[in-house]
Structure 1
Amino acid sequence: MVPSCYRAQHPRCMALLQAAGAMADLLQIQAQMLRNDLFFSDDFAAGKLLELCVRSSANLHHGRKIFNLMKNPDIFAWNTLLRGHAASPSPSHALHLFSLMAAAGPSPNSYTFTFLLKACAGLKRSQEGEQVHSTMAKLGADRLLFPSNALISMYASCHKIHLARLVFDTASAKDIVSWNALLSGFLRCGLVLDARKLFDEMPERGIVSWNAMINGYADAGELQAARELFDGMPERDSESWNTMISGYARGRRLGEARELFRRMPERNAVSWSTMISAYAQGGEPVAALELFEEMRQRRLRPNWAAVVSLLSACASRSNLQQGKLIHRYIDKNKMKLDCILGTALIDMYAKCGCVGGAAEVFEGLKTTDVFAWTAMIGGLAANGQGKRALELFQEMLERKIRPNAVTFVGVLSACSHLGDANLARSYFESMKLVHGIEPELEHYGCLVDALGRAGRTAEAAEVAEAAPGSASTAAEVWGTLLGACWVRGDVQGGEYAASRLAGVGAGDGGEYVVMANLCAASGRWDEARRLRQLMKDGGISKCLGWSSVEIPENSQTPDMNDQ
């Protein structure tokens, strides 16, 4: 138990406040302060308790309660609460608090304006920021260094870069933070040339300046310029290496990313996570999973983005065993299962054919957004549970969650697998009329598939003709119709779809195989042999298929040429 904090024991109480770690400790100290009247008689001690509470946004609500109990909160208490709200997920509360302060509180100081401007920057609300600027100008606070730097950052965050430049140019004092704030603003607005000019003019450049400029070049796709700056740095920290590796990863230049990763003098968790994400997003899921295993053996924890990428890698390989391992890792390390991570888990389970696992994750999410619902609907549709997919879609609409274009891909796919062409047509037409979503090529393909499977080939061909894009981009729609004709054994419809594919030169040889099989199935053996001979004479071959077989210790990926 925490001992009583009598007034005579004020130093002891302050020492306890300094040493308090958990929220439970603070609550015990607060109870003793209230019992012994120290809370109301010593504003400094109460302010210190408030400061400790608002260090974490999770305790901000309790901090507000403490503030409301204070009889005459001083400027330190007001600024402490302003700082907490400005750094929280809801910085608008800081602006409301300032309006209360202006009406009944003490006069603001330079720290007050710094926290307010941070809130405006987080909200991207330049109008309120300009009002704060006006108040600062009346009090002369705009000429002080810290508030001036906050003004530059606020205007830059709101993409008012001309105002950020004006504040910078007229500032009575500047430090490296001032220069970095404007540099970051130029880069945030995509003004790489202006940023480089400012970078070259800087009287001194810290490692933050170098890293920002390298990242700006990488974001703009100018990796050569980024690498030249990186190689010319007088000193580098882990962020420098990570920034350059991340730039190569975003540019899909995995070789250079791998080379830098191996050369790093000291790799941290961010370095490993960046490389894992690079492999997963760059089409090398096996390398991503191998690096994760190595990272685990070194007792390093990947960041949130890397875990999402790993789940994507498992989904692309249909590697359920590894996906479950990562799910257990998430639970064991108590990672917050938000909508993004939850959606990645749903997608992984669904693509690995484990609909039960996907449903369990979906039902366990505290909050769900359109992406989680879409992943679940699409997963059900892809795994032959079309009826349940459509039921879930109706539930989604009843909960007033607005579907997006990807949602309708799952819905139309569910209709197709159910064999309900009329329902598919109804949902397709409702996209634009009811939901304001313009159907895209993939939606046309789903409708063509549903109509083709139902034997309505002529209607499906009309839809394919109306598909958006050029003839070559619409080729996949004709390929879909050809596949539907194969399912129905419709030789005439298949011939028409195959001729359209051949007409745009988009075939991969697969259409010849399908048509030959169609002709053979309908007894037209001469035509089947003719198509096979055409393939042989023209050197046409179908792209090899492959399958992945998961076994306890390894995953084999044989293709159709393997014996």
Structure 2
Amino acid sequence: MSQLVQIHAQMIRNHLSQDPFGVSKLIEFCALSEYGNLHYAHRLFDQIPEPNTFTWNTIIRGYASSSFPRQSLHLFIQMLKSSTYPNLYTFPFVIKACTHLVAFEEGRQVHGMVLKKGADNDVFLINGLIHLYASCGKIDAARKLFDCSCKRDLVSWNSILCGYTNCGLMEQAKTLFEEMMERDVVSWNVMINGYAKLGDIEKARELFNMMPTRNVESWNIMISAYAKCGLLESSKKLFDEMPERNVVSWSGIITAYAQEGQPTKALVVFDEMRRAQMKPNCRTIVSVLSSCAQLGALDQGKGIHIYVNQSKIKVDSIIGTALIDMYAKCGCVKNAVRIFDKLESRDVFAWTAMIGGLALNGHGKKALELFGEMEGAGVKPNAVTFVGVLCACSHCGLVEMAWHYFNTMKTVYGISPQIEHYGCMVDVLGRAGRLEEAMSFLKSSPAKVDAILWGTILGACWIHRDVKLGENVGDLLFRLEPNDSGIHVLLSNIYARVGRWDDARKVRLLMESKSLRKNPACSAIEVHGLLVMPEYTAQHLSPYSGKQSLILMPKGIPNS
């Protein structure tokens, strides 16, 4: 772009800025190249008094393939109002924009224009329309268009096949797949992905094994399918067997580990990815930051942040939210606030991460002030936002304000309270010593009360030395979770806190009779830039212990 701007400056100095051919080439680079700038292309386009059809098509195509497809439709409407009429190359780009927007009605209108233009036999246009209708869930309309088409190619078959699988109609998809005279790797991938989405891993693997040829996407689909079913070992085994990998392959397995609560393994695979000289994408960065947040690995998180800056990766709301979450969970609130303040646009997730981060680190009042700013900015909170708000109220002991926000969820924002919100309210009331009110609240709640909520009450009984209520809740929990060692320990501690040592000893003996042991706690720390944590795997056994080992992971990014 820097070189193109210089060329544009030379064109202006030499009075060539109105040359249709030269300007159209400038716009083409800016709108279509991965190194271009769509905003710059639009500014150039606006300076042309009478753009020709090629220039209109270029700018429409650029927006259709971007994150702003609606702008493509706006430009198409402007084109219709101008003296330039669209040609056969215009419609595919407009149809693509409609597909991205899932804009069924607009797509039908474009279809009508195609019919008036007499281009209903153009196989490229028909394929685009089939894909549009299928993406909008109008599979019957897509099938009707497919059946009426006198010209079908492999793309036509794959488009309708993809429509069936996206709608979960695997029986119809299977029938169509068997009717296909010709299949390519895309056809097989569509079917495998369809079964994978429904969680039918056996049929997906059966088709995968039958494939005459596979590409990287075939392997990626199966890796993702195993991961979604929680079969991470099978997913990693397949990953290790891949003949070649791309960034999607690496990101898929890293994300799977991060989302399944195995952040250490996610960071190990990320380290392998870097050694393989594979450049991470946005999804990889977010998953690795999430893993650092789970482990509290601040130095590694900072290393990822340095890599993002040095690689000139734009810190948008997605990466920004991940950075805020990482810094907040690692206790570095100032850095989290700094990232939040620098964000050009803040969506509900960025606001939620910052509010939750402040609440987590004991800055309850600041969290509530930020929530007020969020409402003032016109950003609608979601259910997770209110979890952070209620946690902030809990840490500050603001019981009445917590009730206000709990009621506001439903009355103002139409968000039905979930089990997490009930847990927050129980925690608020329990910390404030209003245990009877907490009990009444739980009994009257429409949500199914689980052992975790009753355990919160039991914890509050320990804080406020309420033995009678603690015994009642303890008996209830023994029926719900008879083999939970934590319940036994907590009830024993309640007795011990008020000096009832015989009762405390009885609970401990009850634990021994059930062969229950309290799960030992473990921590991850960073020593000289290395993440040190216990790991129960044979492959990393320490010579100092037969059970636990230390995994040492380098901080930061190599060559950064």
2:511 is the counterpart of 1:511: no
Write the letter of the residue equivalent to 2:445.
Answer: A
Q: Which has the higher contact order (CA 8 A, sep 6+)?
A: 2
Q: Secondary structure at the match of 1:177?
A: helix
How far apart, in 1, do the equivalents of 2:77 and 2:351 lie? 40
How far apart, in 1, do the equivalents of 2:341 and 2:26 lie? 40
1:209-288 aligned within 5 A: 209-288=187-266
Contact 2:99 2:135 in 1 (8 A): yes
Q: Secondary structure at the match of 1:143?
A: coil
Equivalent in the alignment of 2:111:
133
Q: How many residues align?
A: 537
Contact 1:547 1:558 in 2 (8 A): no
Write the letter of the residue equivalent to 1:494.
Answer: G
Structure 2 unmatched ranges of 5 or more: 537-546, 549-560
Write out per-residue CA displacement over residues 406-462 of structure 1, whole angstroms, 9 at most, x where no aligned residue. Answer: 122122222222223233223222322333222222222222222222222211111
Which stretch has the larger CA shift, 285-294 or 269-278? 269-278
Equivalent in the alignment of 1:442:
420
Match of 2:466 among 490, 499, 521: 490
Write out per-residue CA displacement over residues 362-394 of structure 1, whole angstroms, 9 at most, x where no aligned residue. Answer: 222221122112112212222222222222222
Match of 1:405 among 363, 380, 383: 383
Equivalent in the alignment of 2:306:
328
Structure number with larger C-alpha Rg: 1
Equivalent in the alignment of 2:539:
none
**Residues 505 and 272 (structure 1 numbering): CA distance in 2 closer, same or farther, change over 3 Å?**
closer
Match of 1:27 among 8, 11, 20: 8
Contact 1:508 1:541 in 2 (8 A): no
Write the letter of the residue equivalent to 2:4.
Answer: M
Q: Secondary structure at the match of 1:28?
A: helix
Which stretch has the larger CA shift, 539-548 or 293-302? 539-548
Per the TM alignment, residue 46 of structure 1 is displaced from its structure 2 partner at its CA by 4.1
2:532 is the counterpart of 1:555: yes
How far apart, in 2, do the equivalents of 1:32 and 1:196 lie? 62
Contact 1:441 1:468 in 2 (8 A): no
2:159 is the counterpart of 1:187: no
**Residues 101 and 367 (structure 1 numbering): CA distance in 2 closer, same or farther, change over 3 Å?**
closer
**Residues 235 and 501 (structure 1 numbering): CA distance in 2 closer, same or farther, change over 3 Å?**
same
**Residues 466 and 30 (structure 1 numbering): CA distance in 2 closer, same or farther, change over 3 Å?**
farther
How far apart, in 2, do the equivalents of 1:214 and 1:21 lie? 44
Per the TM alignment, residue 226 of structure 1 is displaced from its structure 2 partner at its CA by 1.7
How far apart, in 1, do the equivalents of 2:26 and 2:433 lie? 74
**Residues 375 and 78 (structure 1 numbering): CA distance in 2 closer, same or farther, change over 3 Å?**
closer
Contact 1:432 1:439 in 2 (8 A): yes
Q: Secondary structure at the match of 2:445?
A: coil
How far apart, in 2, do the equivalents of 1:98 and 1:424 lie? 50
Match of 2:66 among 88, 99, 119: 88
Per the TM alignment, residue 479 of structure 1 is displaced from its structure 2 partner at its CA by 0.6
How far apart, in 2, do the equivalents of 1:25 and 1:328 lie? 31
How far apart, in 2, do the equivalents of 1:487 and 1:161 lie? 59
How far apart, in 1, do the equivalents of 2:39 and 2:533 lie? 54
Equivalent in the alignment of 2:345:
367
**TM-score, with structure 2 as normaliser:** 0.89
Per the TM alignment, residue 465 of structure 1 is displaced from its structure 2 partner at its CA by 1.4
Write the letter of the residue equivalent to 1:54.
Answer: A
Equivalent in the alignment of 2:131:
153
Write out per-residue CA displacement over residues 133-154 of structure 1, whole angstroms, 9 at most, x where no aligned residue. Answer: 1122122111111111111111
Equivalent in the alignment of 1:358:
336
How far apart, in 2, do the equivalents of 1:71 and 1:380 lie? 53
Match of 2:28 among 51, 54, 62: 51
RMSD: 2.5
Which stretch has the larger CA shift, 103-112 or 210-219? 103-112
Write the letter of the residue equivalent to 1:136.
Answer: V
Equivalent in the alignment of 1:112:
90
Q: Secondary structure at the match of 2:526?
A: strand
How far apart, in 2, do the equivalents of 1:421 and 1:506 lie? 32
Give the % identical residues. 48
After TM superposition, which residue ranges in structure 1, 4 or more long, deviate above 6 angstroms? none
Per the TM alignment, residue 327 of structure 1 is displaced from its structure 2 partner at its CA by 1.7
**Residues 96 and 326 (structure 1 numbering): CA distance in 2 closer, same or farther, change over 3 Å?**
closer
Contact 2:418 2:447 in 1 (8 A): no
Write the letter of the residue equivalent to 2:103.
Answer: R
Contact 1:114 1:146 in 2 (8 A): yes
Write out per-residue CA displacement over residues 524-552 of structure 1, whole angstroms, 9 at most, x where no aligned residue. Answer: 22222222222223434334333333323
How far apart, in 1, do the equivalents of 2:8 and 2:37 lie? 11
Write out per-residue CA displacement over residues 293-348 of structure 1, whole angstroms, 9 at most, x where no aligned residue. Answer: 12212321122112211112122222222222222222221222111211112212
Per the TM alignment, residue 558 of structure 1 is displaced from its structure 2 partner at its CA by 8.6
